[in-house]
Structure 1
Amino acid sequence: MYKTLAALSISTALALPGVSFAVDYSDDIRKNDYKWFTFNLMQSINNRIPFGFQDDTYFEMEFGGRSGWLDLYGYLDVFDVLNSSNSDRNKPEGSNDFADNFFFKFAPRASLDAITGKDLSFGPVQELYISTVTNVGDNALFEHYIGIGSDVQVPWFGKVGLNTYARYVRENFGADNESEWDGYMISTNWFKPWYTLSSGDFITYQGYLDYKFGASKISDDVNRTTTAVEWFNGIYYHTPQWAFGYGLKYYHNMALFKDGGFAGDTTGWGHYFSANYKF
């Protein structure tokens, strides 16, 4: 498994052009420390969450930063925050249809450069990490990812996160692969300011691409798939205190549920509108 992860990470990184962009921690391991935290009010339209939870207004607490060798990103989504009957996650009075109330993502990465004190950069790869992700829903989802991560310098985009993981399934809506290692994920993320106003406000192209594959232990289930894609493309307007954005997201077999199966519509384009308050 680990040989597969290393081969995938290195081959993907080497496919990108560029020169070495090393991060030097020899003088101060904390010189690149930073942190950020936002409260986000989100509106999703026609997203492809399994079991028909497509339209919702929800609250998100999002955070990230760097502290020495630890790089961190995460968020907590609280669904149907307005208790609206127009939300697909709203539970009608007397109904037994229970939807998730929250979703939590926690994604710490440990810098191998900072821990070892060595320059591990090569080509466009700026820094290497041991990367992890944990996804938790309060109904029937609990999964862990661990693998090799990197920061890669990409033309125009600048620094892009590139991570390759193996997937451990703790809970998966009752699937046969629970309590098993099953599949892999390659993920990228970016934050590109591309226009700055005279006021200092700026516009960004920000997003991520997650590709899951190799989930072979559920391949015999007609309602499951071995591959899935989530691709988020956001255009955001940033001020010092606020950000306002629109996101166009493509789903393919969301969460490894086959499109048109018992989980419903899991492939297609979804839309997100966001108002973010920055701390």
Structure 2
Amino acid sequence: MFQKVFSTLLIVLALSPAAFAAKATDGDIHKGDYKWFQFNIMQSIDNKIPFENQQDTYFEMEFGGRSGILDLYGYIDIFDVFNSPNSDRHGDTSLSATQDDNFFFKFAPRFSLDYMTGHDLNAGPVQEWYIATLFNVGDRALFEEYIGLGTDIQIPWLGKLGANLMARHVRENYGADDEGEWNGYILTTNWFKPFVEFENKSFITWQGYLDYKFGANKIADDVDRTSWSLEWFNGIYWHSKQYAVGYGLKYYQNMALFKSGGFAGETSGFGHYLAVTYKF
């Protein structure tokens, strides 16, 4: 299984544009340590979360940073934060158990192979290698665990692109047949590119991510499920030292491995996000 993960990741890297790699180790693994933490108020419009959870105003606590071998990103979303009857997460629970969900938690630690081995493993555009992990947790019946390989790739103009290829283990999945099984893989990428800077040191970014799940064949024979899904988020954000405001356009295909138009509703198409951020 992991041989397949490693081989596919090498193909992805081979297709990446060449650039100069930075040194990952220089004798002090804490030299580049940093951390960040922020609160977001998010408004989702026509997103394609299964079971018609399309409109909601929610609170997001987002965080990340680097400490020695550990590279970290995560967030927790608290749904229907204003207890609004206009939210699809509010009130009626007749459609699905997911409408009772109060939060969603994503936690993505990566552990530097360069720092753990004491060797610079960079090559061409590849800056650093990681053991990559990911946890997706809902408060009722969702718990996915991922493990695989990750890297940072230096892309011309764009800068650092994070990329991870991981195998998927399903602890809970709303009663699906793959609970307790290894089932499929995920390829994730993320980026953050400032492209307009102002005299007051504020700036505008293009930021986003792409998550591609594939090979989930143990539920593909279910008429309402599929073996692959795609989420592709592209955001334009204005940032100052303390605040950020942004708009995101997200494309979904078979969100959460549910076939669009089945009992989970519309799970493919475009959704919109508005965000206001306070930074610590």
TM-score range, shorter chain: over 0.9
Query: 2: CA distance between counterparts of 1:237 and 1:169?
Result: 37
Q: Which amino acid aligns with 2:265?
A: G
The within-5 A match list for 1:203-214 is 203-214=204-215
Structure 2 SS opposite 1:218: coil
Q: Which amino acid aligns with 2:172?
A: E
Deviation at 1:93, TM superposition (A): 9.7
Deviations 1:126-171 (A, max 9, x none): 0000000000001211100100000001111100001001000011
2:211 is the counterpart of 1:244: no
- Are residues 125 and 96 of structure 1, via their aligned partners in 2, closer, same or farther at CA, if it must alter by over 3 Å? closer
Q: Which amino acid aligns with 1:182?
A: N
8 A Cα contact 2:24 2:127, kept in partner: no
8 A Cα contact 2:57 2:79, kept in partner: yes
Which residue number corresponds to residue 87 of structure 1? 87
Which residue number corresponds to residue 8 of structure 2? 8
Structure 2 SS opposite 1:32: coil
8 A Cα contact 2:51 2:96, kept in partner: no
Deviations 1:18-68 (A, max 9, x none): 144032423211111000000000000000000010000000000000000
Query: 1: CA distance between counterparts of 2:156 and 2:175?
Result: 43
Structure 1 SS opposite 2:116: helix
Structure 1 SS opposite 2:265: coil
Deviations 1:46-100 (A, max 9, x none): 0000001000000000000000010000000000000000000001499996421
The alignment's C-alpha RMSD in Å is 1.5
8 A Cα contact 1:59 1:79, kept in partner: yes
- Are residues 118 and 41 of structure 1, via their aligned partners in 2, closer, same or farther at CA, if it must alter by over 3 Å? same
8 A Cα contact 1:207 1:232, kept in partner: yes
Query: 1: CA distance between counterparts of 2:24 and 2:139?
Result: 41
Structure 1: stretches of 5+ with no match in the other structure: none
Query: 2: CA distance between counterparts of 1:96 and 1:16?
Result: 42
8 A Cα contact 1:20 1:121, kept in partner: no
- Are residues 166 and 269 of structure 1, via their aligned partners in 2, closer, same or farther at CA, if it must alter by over 3 Å? same
8 A Cα contact 1:14 1:124, kept in partner: no
Query: 2: CA distance between counterparts of 1:94 and 1:184?
Result: 32
- Identity level (%): 62
Query: 1: CA distance between counterparts of 2:209 and 2:268?
Result: 17
8 A Cα contact 1:17 1:123, kept in partner: no
- Are residues 21 and 80 of structure 1, via their aligned partners in 2, closer, same or farther at CA, if it must alter by over 3 Å? same
Which residue number corresponds to residue 131 of structure 1? 132
- Are residues 90 and 191 of structure 1, via their aligned partners in 2, closer, same or farther at CA, if it must alter by over 3 Å? same
Query: 2: CA distance between counterparts of 1:26 and 1:244?
Result: 37
8 A Cα contact 2:93 2:100, kept in partner: no
Query: 2: CA distance between counterparts of 1:95 and 1:174?
Result: 15
Query: 2: CA distance between counterparts of 1:31 and 1:224?
Result: 46
Query: 1: CA distance between counterparts of 2:190 and 2:24?
Result: 22
Deviations 1:216-265 (A, max 9, x none): 00011000000100000000000110000000000000000000011001
Q: Which amino acid aligns with 1:218?
A: I
The within-5 A match list for 1:214-233 is 214-233=215-234
Aligned residues: 279
Q: Which amino acid aligns with 1:276?
A: T
Q: Which amino acid aligns with 2:22?
A: A
Deviation at 1:203, TM superposition (A): 0.3
Query: 2: CA distance between counterparts of 1:124 and 1:267?
Result: 33
The within-5 A match list for 1:1-279 is 1-92=1-92, 98-279=99-280
Query: 1: CA distance between counterparts of 2:253 and 2:19?
Result: 34
Deviation at 1:9, TM superposition (A): 1.0
Structure 2: stretches of 5+ with no match in the other structure: none
Deviations 1:176-222 (A, max 9, x none): 00000000010100000000001110000000000000000001100
- Are residues 13 and 99 of structure 1, via their aligned partners in 2, closer, same or farther at CA, if it must alter by over 3 Å? same
Query: 1: CA distance between counterparts of 2:19 and 2:262?
Result: 46
